[in-house]
Chain A
Amino acid sequence: MFKGKEPMSNEQEKVTGTEDFQSSTVADPYDLMKPLSTSIDENINRMKDTLKGDNTVIYRWMGNKHMDSFRACLVFIYGMVDNEDINDNLVTPIMQADLSELPQDTFLERVMNTIINNMDVKRCLYMDTVLQSLFQGETLLFIDGQEQALIIRSKALLLRQITEPEFEKVMEGPREGFNEYLAVNLSLVRRKLKSPDLKFKFKVLGRHSRTNVCLCYMETLVNDKVLGELENRLDKIDVDAMTGSNVIAENIKDAPLSVFATIGSTERPDVVVSKVMEGRIVLIIDGTSKALWLPFIFLENFHTAEDYYTEFYFSSINRLLRIISAAITVTAPAVYLAALTYHQEMIPTTLLVSIYSARQGVPFPAVLEVLLLMFSFDLVREASARIPSAMGQSLSIVGTLILGQAAVEAKFFSSLVVIIAALTGITGLMVPKLKGVYIIIRTLLILVTSILGLYGFAFGIIVLFIHLFSIRSLGVPYMMGIGSIKPEDIKDTVVRAPWWYMNTRPKMFMGKESRRQSMDSRKGKSRL
Chain B
Amino acid sequence: MNYKRVCCLWLIFIYLFTFIFLSGCWNYREIEDLSIVTGAAVDKEDDQFRLTVEIVNIEGGSNAKVASSIITSYGATMFEASRNAINILGKRLYWSHTTLIVLSEQIAKEGLVPVLDWLARDPEIRQTLNIVVSKEKTAHEIFHLPHPVFNVISFDLDNIFQNQGSVSKTPDGEEWKVLKNLATPGLDLVLPVALLFMSEGQLIPTFSGTAVFKKDRLKGYLSPDETRIFMFIKDEIKTGLLTNNVIQEDVPVKVTLEIIDNKTKMKPVIKGENIVMRISTITNVSIAEIEGRALDTGEEGSMELAGQFEDMLQEDIKNLVMHVQKEFGCDIFGFGNAIRMEYPDVWKEIESDWDRLFQSIEVVTESQVHIENTALSSKPIIVRD
Q: Which residues of A contact B (CB under 8 A)?
A: 340-342, 344-345, 349, 352-360, 362, 365-366, 409, 450-453, 455, 459
Q: Which residues of B contact A (CB under 8 A)?
A: 19-20, 23, 25, 27-32, 34, 36, 38, 56, 58, 62, 64, 66, 94, 96-97, 99, 124, 126, 155
The interface residues of chain B lying within 8 Å CB-to-CB of A353 are: 36, 56, 66
The interface residues of chain B lying within 8 Å CB-to-CB of A451 are: 20
Cα A340 to Cα B29 with chains together (Å): 8
Q: Check A409–B97 contact: CB distance below 8 A.
A: no
The interface residues of chain A lying within 8 Å CB-to-CB of B66 are: 353-354, 357
> What's the least CB distance linking B150 to chain A, in Å?
13
Q: Check A341–B29 contact: CB distance below 8 A.
A: yes
Cα A344 to Cα B32 with chains together (Å): 11
Cα A104 to Cα B351 with chains together (Å): 132
Q: Check B23–A340 contact: CB distance below 8 A.
A: no
Partner pick for A341 among B20, B28, B62, CB 8 A cutoff: B28
The interface residues of chain B lying within 8 Å CB-to-CB of A352 are: 31, 36, 97
The interface residues of chain B lying within 8 Å CB-to-CB of A341 are: 28-31
Q: Check A359–B32 contact: CB distance below 8 A.
A: yes
Q: Check B30–A365 contact: CB distance below 8 A.
A: yes
Cα A362 to Cα B33 with chains together (Å): 12
The interface residues of chain A lying within 8 Å CB-to-CB of B97 are: 344-345, 349, 352
Cα A365 to Cα B97 with chains together (Å): 22
Q: Check A409–B62 contact: CB distance below 8 A.
A: yes
Q: Check B31–A359 contact: CB distance below 8 A.
A: yes
> What's the least CB distance linking A367 to chain B, in Å?
8
Once A357-B58, A360-B58 are accepted as A-B contacts, the answer to whether A453 and B126 lie under 8 Å apart by CB is no
Once A349-B97, A453-B25 are accepted as A-B contacts, the answer to whether A356 and B19 lie under 8 Å apart by CB is no
The interface residues of chain A lying within 8 Å CB-to-CB of B62 are: 409
Q: List 6 A-B contacts (CB under 8 A).
A: A349-B155, A354-B66, A359-B31, A359-B32, A362-B32, A459-B19
Cα A366 to Cα B32 with chains together (Å): 10
Q: Which residue of B lies closest to A365 (CB)?
A: B30
Q: Which residue of A lies closest to B24 (CB)?
A: A455
Once A353-B56, A357-B64 are accepted as A-B contacts, the answer to whether A345 and B124 lie under 8 Å apart by CB is yes
The interface residues of chain B lying within 8 Å CB-to-CB of A340 are: 31
11 new A-B contacts, CB < 8 A, other than A344-B29, A356-B36, A409-B62, are: A341-B31, A342-B29, A345-B97, A349-B99, A355-B31, A356-B31, A356-B34, A357-B66, A359-B32, A360-B64, A452-B23
Q: Which residue of B lies closest to A339 (CB)?
A: B31
The interface residues of chain B lying within 8 Å CB-to-CB of A453 are: 25, 27-28
Once A345-B96, A345-B124, A353-B56 are accepted as A-B contacts, the answer to whether A359 and B23 lie under 8 Å apart by CB is no
Q: Check B20–A344 contact: CB distance below 8 A.
A: no
- Ranked nearest first, the 3 interchain pairs of A and B with the lowest CB-CB distance are A345-B96, A357-B58, A357-B64
Max chain A Cβ within 10 angstroms of own Cβ: one of B19, B30, B36: B30
Q: Check B28–A342 contact: CB distance below 8 A.
A: yes
The interface residues of chain A lying within 8 Å CB-to-CB of B34 are: 344, 356
Cα A359 to Cα B31 with chains together (Å): 8
Q: Check B31–A450 contact: CB distance below 8 A.
A: no
> What's the least CB distance linking A333 to chain B, in Å?
15
The interface residues of chain A lying within 8 Å CB-to-CB of B27 are: 342, 453
Max chain A Cβ within 10 angstroms of own Cβ: one of B29, B34, B62: B29
Q: Which residue of B lies closest to A453 (CB)?
A: B25
The interface residues of chain A lying within 8 Å CB-to-CB of B23 are: 452, 455
Once A342-B28, A344-B94 are accepted as A-B contacts, the answer to whether A452 and B20 lie under 8 Å apart by CB is yes
Q: Check B32–A360 contact: CB distance below 8 A.
A: yes
The interface residues of chain A lying within 8 Å CB-to-CB of B32 are: 356, 359-360, 362
> What's the least CB distance linking B98 to chain A, in Å?
9
Q: Which residue of B lies closest to A367 (CB)?
A: B28
Q: Check B126–A366 contact: CB distance below 8 A.
A: no
Once A357-B64, A360-B58 are accepted as A-B contacts, the answer to whether A455 and B31 lie under 8 Å apart by CB is no
Q: Which residue of A lies closest to B34 (CB)?
A: A344
Max chain A Cβ within 10 angstroms of own Cβ: one of B31, B32, B97: B31
Q: Which residue of B lies closest to A340 (CB)?
A: B31
The interface residues of chain B lying within 8 Å CB-to-CB of A354 are: 66
Q: Check A366–B31 contact: CB distance below 8 A.
A: yes
Q: Check B28–A455 contact: CB distance below 8 A.
A: no
Once A360-B64, A452-B23, A459-B19 are accepted as A-B contacts, the answer to whether A344 and B31 lie under 8 Å apart by CB is yes
The interface residues of chain A lying within 8 Å CB-to-CB of B30 are: 341, 359, 365-366
Cα A450 to Cα B26 with chains together (Å): 11
Q: Which residue of B lies closest to A411 (CB)?
A: B62
Q: Check A455–B25 contact: CB distance below 8 A.
A: yes
Cα A179 to Cα B64 with chains together (Å): 57
Once A356-B56, A360-B58 are accepted as A-B contacts, the answer to whether A342 and B25 lie under 8 Å apart by CB is yes
